[in-house]
Amino acid sequence: MKKILKNWLVIPLLAILAACGGGGGGNSSSTGGGTTTPTLVSIAVTASPNTTLAIGTQVTLKAIGTYSDNSSAALTTPTWTAKNGSSILTLFSTGAVTGKAVGTDTVTATQGGISGSITLTVTAPWTNVAAGGNQTLARKADGTLFGWGSNIKGQLGDSTTTDRNTPTQVSGNSTLWKSISVGDQFTVAIRSDGSLWAWGYNQNGQLGDGTTTDRPIPTRIGSATDWVAVSAGKAHTLAVNKTGVLFAWGRNFNGQLGDGTNADKLVPTKQATGVWQKVAAGGNHSLAIRTDGTLWAWGGNTNGQLGNGGVVDQTKPVQIGTLTWVQVSAGASHSVAIRADGSLFAWGSNSNGQVGNNGTLNVTAPAQITSDTNWATVVAGYQHTVGLRTDGTLWVWGSNSDGQLGNGTLQDVAAPIQIGTASWTIISAGGAHTMGVQTDGTLWGWGRNIEGELGNNTNSSVSLPITVQ
């Protein structure tokens, strides 16, 4: 009886042990019914916002691991290395990368013997930009010049008439470009050696090469090497040499050349007396500041854009008031200027609020815009205006049909409004688009983009600032 009871107790105990896996020396392998820890099999590296960065700017790298069970996850502790060491990039353990020198480098993330790489390109920062019509030209710190947007008349200077929606280097690969100005469908520029160059549309002789033939590549204008300032209007050009002599050429139907006639000029022609320092060519009018700070205007005046209180064209320069001015810009038919005390004034056509006085009636004499005295730069587009204050903040007003104000809407604005909080150093306004350079050397654009004038590899207009590589 004792033996039978003993066996009766052992049999259930063995069954319990078997059910629990006990007594069998079980393990965690997949063949024993357990799970296997997935192993890392590959790494993909991504860059945000993109794989191209300017010197001094930063991108963030992320390493994404793929595992043996087909799952993926961000790696938190990969080891980062750059193929060229620290010569092109400054690489941080967090995956942050700062551009150091122009060039291309490969960055690799490694973990557990598995690696993944990405190629980054470092470019020179943008130092100048000029928007005009439906195209943009911009200069990099290394002196190279790039263009994008409409190219129907060869105004991008790349030897073709093909529109471009990404920055395309101007023919000749020169590194001597210093200043640029873009008209309606043509471009003028000064090199560091003081020589003057022009290309694009030339129907009225606005290139200044003595012909009316369009030029799809930079063409030197004359042999002088003392040019210091140049401005391109709709179809005329103004320029100043180092001795302060003012020259003008191109269309003159409204007297915008200031020589007392209405005859076009095909080469740079000395205009007006006085010693000049700054010029601004508009749709069919001209503005200029002499070395004594006085402001002068001439040309078309239908909308009061000369600021002399009338609406009659002037074929010779007329002085505007007696104040001292430091900066001036001419739009299609409105004008803006900054006085020596940092106050801002505007006048002329105001149908879209481009004067900025919170109205839409034309203004025939300089009207102060805001009571502030911290304006540093102001530029006039076709029917919109953009300004920078001394703190680097960006302000806009006027037409917004294509989002050229950058405030996320398509509604016109009749008084200055601030756009974001970024710090800007350079701004330029075209027909219906706006370009700007921030303090870190990055280039931004917004507004019309049908011809690719924003340079972001699309042809879609945008109403908020986007970066250009």
pLDDT tens per residue across span 159-215 = 999 999 999 999 999 999 999 999 999 999 999 999 999 999 999 999 999 999 999
Please give the average per-residue pLDDT across 81-109, as a whole number: 95
Residue 25 has pLDDT above 60, yes or no: no
CATH of residue 50 = 2.60.40.1080
Please give the average per-residue pLDDT across 269-287, as a whole number: 95
- Buried residues in 268-289 as b, exposed as e (16+ CB within 10 A): bbebbeeebbbbbbbbbbbbbb
CB 376 within 8 A of CB 406: no
162 lies in the same domain as 82: no
Domain-located, residue 403:
yes
Q: Which two tokens stand for residue 414?
A: 């009749």
Domain boundary among 88, 123, 158: 123
133 lies in the same domain as 71: no
CATH of residue 451 = 2.130.10.30
Domain-located, residue 226:
yes
Residue 226 has pLDDT above 80, yes or no: yes
Residue 27 has pLDDT above 80, yes or no: no
265 lies in the same domain as 404: yes
What domain count does the chain have?
2
For 98-156, how does the pLDDT look when each residue is reduced to its tens digit (9 = 90+)?
Answer: 999 999 999 999 999 999 999 999 988 999 999 999 999 999 999 999 999 999 999 99
User: What is the share, in percent, of the chain residues with pLDDT greater than 70?
Assistant: 93
Q: 354: buried, middle or exposed (CB in 10 Å: 19+, 13-18, 0-12)?
A: buried
Strand order in the sheet with 186-191: 177-182, 186-191, 196-200, 215-220
Mean pLDDT of the chain: 93
Domain-located, residue 455:
yes
Chain mean position to CA 5: 94
* Residue predicted with more confidence, 313 or 124: 313
Domain boundary among 90, 123, 156: 123
CB 260 within 8 A of CB 272: no
394 lies in the same domain as 421: yes
The torsion region of residue 283 among left (phi > 0), alpha (psi -120 to 50) and beta comes to alpha
Which residue bears the tokens 């919109």?
384
Q: Which two tokens stand for residue 66?
A: 């793929």
Domain-located, residue 7:
no
Contact residues for 12 (Cβ-Cβ < 8 A; gap 6+): none
Residue 273 has pLDDT above 50, yes or no: yes
* Residue predicted with more confidence, 49 or 116: 116
- For residue 160, the model assigns a pLDDT of 98
Domain-located, residue 28:
no
pTM of the predicted protein model? 0.85
Residue 57 has pLDDT above 90, yes or no: no
75 lies in the same domain as 208: no
- For residue 34, the model assigns a pLDDT of 61
Domain-located, residue 141:
yes
Residue 24 has pLDDT above 70, yes or no: no
Q: Long-range contacts made by residues 255-258, C-beta under 8 angstroms, separation at least 24?
A: 255/298, 255/299, 255/300, 255/313, 255/314, 255/315, 255/316, 256/281, 256/282, 256/284, 256/285, 256/286, 256/298, 256/299, 256/300, 257/286, 257/299, 258/286, 258/298, 258/299, 258/315, 258/316, 258/317
Please give the average per-residue pLDDT across 329-337, as a whole number: 98
CB 219 within 8 A of CB 197: yes
Contact residues for 331 (Cβ-Cβ < 8 A; gap 6+): 282, 283, 305, 348, 349, 354, 380, 381, 382, 383, 384, 385, 429
Domain boundary among 123, 142, 172: 123
In Å, the largest CA–CA distance within the chain is 137
Domain-located, residue 275:
yes
Residue 21 has pLDDT above 80, yes or no: no
- For residue 33, the model assigns a pLDDT of 52
Please give the average per-residue pLDDT across 333-351, as a whole number: 98
74 lies in the same domain as 216: no
141 lies in the same domain as 68: no
351 lies in the same domain as 274: yes
Please give the average per-residue pLDDT across 418-426, as a whole number: 97
Range of the domain at 284: 126-468
Please give the average per-residue pLDDT across 251-264, as a whole number: 97
